[in-house]
């Protein structure tokens, strides 16, 4: 239990002008889970890239079983028994399960022909051993993210991995799948495999980790047994200061109903959705992945069609057929996926910010650049967006800053109603709190906020009311005095009868 | 933040290349700097620049048009035959523009509405338009264009008419790209279409506008092309889409979308034009010229990709530096 499987000692890494890692000492014991915590940019990924051989350290040494090793590239890492399950799984959708399992090491006969029979046989055996319900010839695109992730883990194990790095493994899988993943991790531990677990989700870290190392600004702040730590301590170490009042909820006077949605339906996705949001109110939407929350919001915003139902804005029935219609009616939506339908990566932060309300800056036959600059600048100051210049490409910013640019985009539309779909997904702890602060400021301006989130503590901390969705329907509406994780989860799992 | 010298160099690299090329050309050929030669280059470039603008608008928003050469020929022969039967330059112009616009609306319907990849949709149009041009003329060239040639060969004062047309079009395209919501939407759609649409941008409308503008360019180019040749050539302008694409790409328009400028495209067209001209002046074998042109396209894109990946490496470092502060 106490013998060290892998150790990095005094590792340093600099990029031109920046010291990314300084004197990192870090050790993983055999058959344990070692969680690595830190804000984005703390050096977690640089360190993992060095371990995987994607970068070479300037100084320091990696030891496996206390023997010094050099990892020059990922192939060598694999040969040494180190594998990584990336956050964004890279896979070829058209490939079959068996091809994926044997990718890069397909068995061949003497003539160089692939021995497909053996591939099929062995793939079949792996799948049976793991109790996975798919066939070797099934294409990867028919599998869920969680299935593919599990395949990656199996692949690592069949490669005889002794150390498996998991980078945000739960960022896109459901609660149930998280349980399956954790069960698998326990099995791996029992087999003596060591796991380096990287996650922003502190609840998970505390559930699964044996030891926790906190990184900040490219240095190790602390390494402790998980049982000797608590959430607040770890977060305080990550951000380097104590965060009081995690959720800056303030009492705001609640006004008229700004948005009412009645009997909103789209076949197979959501049904009979009715709810309202008042000015000055933060209304939460909880539910499991696949409950139809994002689909509902996209349809309300006009990004996707709906079959029937009515949207009322300020009490008036309003036709919304496109996001353009919504924006005209002062309804805006921060999308769930910043990368897919949020940012325009190659364009400047300024253009990204002004995109939602071009009419404000391009009118009367000309683009009014100076006005655009000053208004975007003012908005960035308010949101405390950190960017080198207004002309910097948005892709150069951290996730938290990108999210704040997108919030600026919508605030520049001067909306009355804001739908925020997973506003804090994939951004680090410090930036999360800034986003909460901004949301509080937004409702203080007499706007209505609808917040969709999969993180219950955040909903409970910020919202006035929470609607819970289950299988495309609203299964409950809970008011702030009755908030609890249990109640919400029961509704989300469909364990409570719908109130009449 | 002020730009450093190296950043200036990168930002204006295409213009530096143009100037250096100009100097080299004037040194190695005594004829290059002569007024008549430069006017000739300008005249020759007109068709290419018009096409390059169309391609540029499309590439910025993530599309392209492979049907340019064929539609140009079709618009040209229609325009020529309208002129021959009516004697009206106005009607000839309308015929050319309408042909370009209609063909490109068809392109836009498939690309914008049915989400057929632009490569395929416009490849189909390339075949069809060429076929129609040949069918319409019976495969015969239309000769003796009379006053029609003025639009390609005439002068107003010391300046060729096609050059004046191109200058006018340049102003319009520059204005559209830089001072309209349509222009801004092009970059957004090319950079990330779902994000642009989620920001309230009507991508389909922009796609239609881009193809229609492309159609107008191609129509004009068709008239100038036929006038310069003093013939309606249904078999003419084969492969001209590549001329346009090359100019746009050499001028820094990014094939992955979201990036491109009018000035860069002009510079790209002139670089190609000067190269062609000086190779002709030096008597370089035309087959060899083709090899060189092919190499230039690939090198230009390789340069673009390499400089971008350097930039993105810098970006990571900036990110880590910003976060560690």
pLDDT in tens, A66-97: 899 998 888 889 889 999 888 777 777 888 88
Q: In whole angstroms, what is the distance from residue A249 CA to residue A247 CA?
A: 6
pLDDT value at position A93?
81
Token pair of A280, please? 């000055």
Count CB atoms within 10 A of the CB of residue B286: 10
When pLDDT is averaged across residues A416-431 and rounded to a whole number, the result is 87
CB A30 within 8 A of CB A1: yes
Residue B298, min C-alpha distance to chain A (Å):
22
Interface residue A356 vs chain B (CB under 8 A):
yes
Residues 46-105 (B) with a CB less than 8 A from some CB of A: none
Contacts of A326 in chain B (CB under 8 A): 200
Contacts of B199 in chain A (CB under 8 A): 323, 355-356, 409
Residue A283, min C-alpha distance to chain B (Å):
22
pLDDT value at position B321?
44
When pLDDT is averaged across residues B110-116 and rounded to a whole number, the result is 93
Interface residue B6 vs chain A (CB under 8 A):
no
pLDDT value at position B320?
43
Q: In whole angstroms, what is the distance from residue A406 CA to residue A404 CA?
A: 5
Interface residue B178 vs chain A (CB under 8 A):
yes
Residue A398, min C-alpha distance to chain B (Å):
6
pLDDT tens for residues B192-223?
999 999 999 999 999 999 999 999 999 999 99
SS3 of A2, please? coil
Token pair of B322, please? 């910003």
Interface residue B318 vs chain A (CB under 8 A):
yes
Q: How confident is the model at residue A1 (pLDDT cuts 50, 70, 90)?
A: very low
When pLDDT is averaged across residues B286-305 and rounded to a whole number, the result is 83
The residue assigned the tokens 């190695």 is B28
CB A307 within 8 A of CB A281: no
When pLDDT is averaged across residues A379-400 and rounded to a whole number, the result is 88
Average pLDDT score, chain A:
88
Count CB atoms within 10 A of the CB of residue A65: 13
Q: In whole angstroms, what is the distance from residue A366 CA to residue A138 CA?
A: 55
Interface residue A303 vs chain B (CB under 8 A):
yes
Interchain contact, B200 vs A327, CB within 8 Å: yes
Q: Which of A39, A322, A356 sits opposite B323 (nearest CB)?
A: A39
When pLDDT is averaged across residues B295-305 and rounded to a whole number, the result is 79
Lowest mean pLDDT among A101-115, A347-361, B306-320: B306-320
Could you tell me which residues come within 8 angstroms of residue A188 by beta carbon, excluding any fewer than 6 positions away?
A: A153, A157, A164, A195
When pLDDT is averaged across residues A31-56 and rounded to a whole number, the result is 87
Interchain contact, A398 vs B319, CB within 8 Å: yes
Closest among A168, A221, A217, A165 to A53, alpha carbons compared: A165
Lowest mean pLDDT among A231-235, A268-272, B67-71: A231-235
- The β-bridge relationship of strands A473-479 and A465-470 is antiparallel
Closest among B244, B237, B192, B252 to B64, alpha carbons compared: B244
pLDDT value at position A374?
94
Q: Per-residue pLDDT for A18 more than 90? A: no
Interface residue B202 vs chain A (CB under 8 A):
yes
Lowest mean pLDDT among A131-135, A459-463, B65-69, B223-227: A131-135
Q: Which of B199, B257, B318 sits opposite A409 (nearest CB)?
A: B199
pLDDT value at position B315?
47
Residue B315, min C-alpha distance to chain A (Å):
5
Q: Which of B194, B316, B318 sits opposite A340 (nearest CB)?
A: B194
Interface residue A366 vs chain B (CB under 8 A):
yes
Query: Cα–chain-centroid distance for residue A27?
Result: 27
Interchain contact, B192 vs A42, CB within 8 Å: no
CB A77 within 8 A of CB A165: no
Lowest mean pLDDT among A418-422, B46-50, B142-146: B142-146
Which residues lie across from A28 on neighbouring strands?
Answer: A6
CB A17 within 8 A of CB B317: yes
pLDDT value at position B318?
47
Q: What percent of chain A has pLDDT over 90?
A: 45
CB B134 within 8 A of CB B126: no
Q: What percent of chain B has pLDDT over 90?
A: 71
Interface test with A, best of B61, B188, B260, B323 (most A CBs within 10 A): B323
CB B195 within 8 A of CB B188: yes
The residue assigned the tokens 């080198």 is A388
State in Å, rounded, how far the first CA of chain B is from the last one: 19
CB < 8 Å & 24+ apart, contacts of A406-409: A406/A334, A406/A338, A406/A342, A406/A343, A406/A352, A407/A334, A407/A383, A407/A435, A407/A438, A408/A353, A408/A376, A408/A379, A408/A380, A408/A383, A409/A352, A409/A353, A409/A354, A409/A355, A409/A356, A409/A357, A409/B199
pLDDT value at position B325?
35
Q: Which of A18, A335, A395 sits opposite B317 (nearest CB)?
A: A18
pLDDT value at position B311?
56
pLDDT tens for residues B234-281?
999 998 999 899 899 888 898 888 999 999 999 999 999 999 899 999
Q: In whole angstroms, what is the distance from residue A11 CA to residue A19 CA?
A: 11
Q: How many CA atoms lie within 13 A of B269 on its CB side?
A: 28
Q: Which of A346, A386, A389 sits opposite B259 (nearest CB)?
A: A346
Burial class of residue A190, CB neighbours in 10 A (0-12, 13-18, 19+): exposed
SS3 of A434, please? helix
Contacts of B317 in chain A (CB under 8 A): 15-18
When pLDDT is averaged across residues B32-51 and rounded to a whole number, the result is 91
CA distances from B124 to B106, B116, B215 (A): 11, 11, 16
* Selection from A417-426, A476-485, B47-56 with the highest mean pLDDT: B47-56
Task: Find the residue in B nearest to A19 (Cα).
Answer: B321
Query: Cα–chain-centroid distance for residue A49?
Result: 20
- Phi, psi for B150 (deg, rounded to 5): -55, -40
CB A8 within 8 A of CB A47: yes
SS3 of A476, please? strand
pLDDT value at position B322?
44
Could you tell me which residues come within 8 angstroms of residue A471 by beta carbon, excluding any fewer than 6 positions away?
A: A291, A292, A494
Task: Find the residue in A nearest to B174 (Cα).
Answer: A366
Cβ pairs bridging A and B (under 8 Å) = 118
Identify the H or E element spanning A282.
strand A282-287
pLDDT tens for residues A207-254?
999 999 999 888 899 999 988 988 888 888 887 765 556 788 888 889
Q: Which of A42, A323, A386 sits opposite B199 (nearest CB)?
A: A323
- Spell out the SS3 assignment of chain B: CCCCHHHHHHHCHHHHHHHHHHHHHHHHCCCCCCHHHHHHHHHHHHHHHHHHHHHHHHHHCCCCCCCHHHHHHHHHHHHHHHHHHHCCHHHHHHHHHHHHHHHHHHHHHHHHHCCCCHHHHHHHHHHHHHHHHHHHHCCCCEECCHHHHHHHHCEECCEEHHHHHHHHHHHHHHHHHHHCHHHHHHHHHHHCHHHHHHCCCCHHHHHHHHHHHHHHHHHHHHHHHHHHHCEECCCCCCCHHHHHHHHHHHCCCCCCCCCCCHHHHHHHHHHHHHHHHHHHHCCCCHHHHHHHHHHHHHHHHHHHHHHHHHHHHHHHHHHHHHHHC
Interchain contact, B320 vs A18, CB within 8 Å: yes
Which residues lie across from A197 on neighbouring strands?
Answer: A35, A166
- The residue ranking higher by pLDDT, B316 or A237, is A237
pLDDT value at position B308?
64
pLDDT tens for residues B129-171?
999 999 999 999 999 888 999 998 888 988 899 999 999 999 9
Token pair of B64, please? 């392209």
Closest among B218, B240, B241, B237 to B229, alpha carbons compared: B237
Interchain contact, B315 vs A395, CB within 8 Å: yes
Residue A57, min C-alpha distance to chain B (Å):
15
Task: Find the residue in A nearest to B189 (Cα).
Answer: A344
Q: Which of B184, B191, B323 sits opposite A40 (nearest CB)?
A: B323
ipTM rounded to 2 decimals: 0.86
CB A396 within 8 A of CB B318: yes
Residue A484, min C-alpha distance to chain B (Å):
33
Count CB atoms within 10 A of the CB of residue A61: 13
pLDDT value at position A78?
86
Q: In whole angstroms, what is the distance from residue B205 CA to residue B211 CA?
A: 10
Q: How confident is the model at residue B8 (pLDDT cuts 50, 70, 90)?
A: low
């Amino acid at each position: 239990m106490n013998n060290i499987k892998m150790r990095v000692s005094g590792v340093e890494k600099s990029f031109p002008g920046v010291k990314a890692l300084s004197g990192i000492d870090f050790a993983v014991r055999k058959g344990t889970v070692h969680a690595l915590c830190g804000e984005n940019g703390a050096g977690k990924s640089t360190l993992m890239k060095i371990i995987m051989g994607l970068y070479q350290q300037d100084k320091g040494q990696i030891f496996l079983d206390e023997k010094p090793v050099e990892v020059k590239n990922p192939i060598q890492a694999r040969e040494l028994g180190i594998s990584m399950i990336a956050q964004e799984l890279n896979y070829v959708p058209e490939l079959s399960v068996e091809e994926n399992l044997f990718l890069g090491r397909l068995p061949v006969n003497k003539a160089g022909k692939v021995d497909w029979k053996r591939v099929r046989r062995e793939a079949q055996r792996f799948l049976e051993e793991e109790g996975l319900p798919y066939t070797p010839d099934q294409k990867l695109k028919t599998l869920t993210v969680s299935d593919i992730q599990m395949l990656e883990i199996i692949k690592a194990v069949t490669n005889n991995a002794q150390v498996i790095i998991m980078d945000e493994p739960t960022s896109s899988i459901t609660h149930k799948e998280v349980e399956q993943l954790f069960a698998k991790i326990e099995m791996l531990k029992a087999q003596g495999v060591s796991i380096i677990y990287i996650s922003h989700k502190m609840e998970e870290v505390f559930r699964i980790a044996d030891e926790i190392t906190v990184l900040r600004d490219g240095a190790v702040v602390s390494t402790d047994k998980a049982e000797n730590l608590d959430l607040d301590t770890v977060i305080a170490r990550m951000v380097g200061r104590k965060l009081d009042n995690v959720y800056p909820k303030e009492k705001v006077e609640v006004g008229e109903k700004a948005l009412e949605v009645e009997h909103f339906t789209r076949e197979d996705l959501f049904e009979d959705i009715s709810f309202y949001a008042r000015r000055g109110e933060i209304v939460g939407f909880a539910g499991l992945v696949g409950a139809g929350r994002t689909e509902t919001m996209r349809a309300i915003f006009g990004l996707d069609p709906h079959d029937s139902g009515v949207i009322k804005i300020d009490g008036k029935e309003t036709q919304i057929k496109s996001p353009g219609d919504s924006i005209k009616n002062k309804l805006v939506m921060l999308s769930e996926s910043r990368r897919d339908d949020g940012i325009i990566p190659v364009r400047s932060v300024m253009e990204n910010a002004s995109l939602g309300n071009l009419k404000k800056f391009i009118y009367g036959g000309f683009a009014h650049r100076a006005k655009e600059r000053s208004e975007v600048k003012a908005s960035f100051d308010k949101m405390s967006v950190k960017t080198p210049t207004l002309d910097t490409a948005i892709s150069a910013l951290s996730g938290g800053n990108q999210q704040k640019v997108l919030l600026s985009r919508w605030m520049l539309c001067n909306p009355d109603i804001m739908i925020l779909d997973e506003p804090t997904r994939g951004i680090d702890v410090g930036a999360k709190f800034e986003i909460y602060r901004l949301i509080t400021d937004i409702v203080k301006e007499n706007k209505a906020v609808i917040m969709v989130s999969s993180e219950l503590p955040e909903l409970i901390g910020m919202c006035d009311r929470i609607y819970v969705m289950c299988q495309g329907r609203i299964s409950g509406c809970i008011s702030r005095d009755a908030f609890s994780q249990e109640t919400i989860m029961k509704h989300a799992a469909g364990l409570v009868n719908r109130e009449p | 933040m002020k730009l450093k010298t190296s950043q200036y160099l990168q930002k204006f690299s295409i213009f530096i290349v143009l100037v250096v090329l100009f100097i080299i050309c004037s040194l190695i050929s005594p004829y290059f700097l002569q007024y008549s030669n430069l006017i000739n280059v300008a005249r020759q470039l007109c068709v290419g620049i018009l096409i390059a603008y169309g391609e540029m608008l499309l590439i910025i928003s993530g599309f392209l048009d492979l049907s340019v050469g064929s539609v140009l020929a079709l618009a040209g022969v229609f325009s020529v035959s309208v002129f021959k039967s009516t004697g009206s330059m106005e009607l000839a112009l309308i015929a050319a523009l309408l042909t370009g616009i209609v063909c490109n609306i068809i392109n836009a319907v498939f690309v914008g509405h049915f989400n057929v990849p632009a490569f395929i949709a416009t490849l189909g149009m390339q075949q069809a338009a060429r076929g129609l041009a040949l069918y319409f003329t019976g495969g015969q060239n239309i000769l003796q264009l009379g006053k029609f040639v003025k639009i390609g060969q005439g002068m107003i004062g010391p300046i060729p008419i096609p050059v004046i047309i191109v200058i006018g079009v340049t102003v319009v395209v520059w204005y559209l790209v830089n001072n309209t919501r349509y222009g801004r939407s092009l970059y957004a759609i090319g950079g990330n279409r779902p994000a642009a649409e989620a920001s309230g941008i009507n991508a389909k409308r922009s796609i239609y506008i881009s193809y229609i503008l492309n159609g107008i360019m191609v129509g004009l180019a068709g008239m100038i092309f036929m006038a310069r040749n003093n013939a309606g050539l249904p078999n003419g302008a084969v492969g001209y889409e590549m001329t346009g694409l090359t100019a746009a790409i050499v001028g820094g328009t990014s094939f992955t979308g979201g990036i491109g400028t009018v000035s860069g495209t002009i510079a790209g067209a002139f670089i190609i034009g000067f190269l062609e001209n000086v190779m002709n002046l030096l008597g370089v074998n035309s087959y060899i010229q083709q090899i060189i042109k092919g190499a230039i396209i690939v090198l230009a894109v390789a340069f673009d990709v390499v400089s971008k990946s350097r930039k993105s490496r810098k970006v990571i470092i900036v990110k880590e530096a910003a976060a560690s502060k």
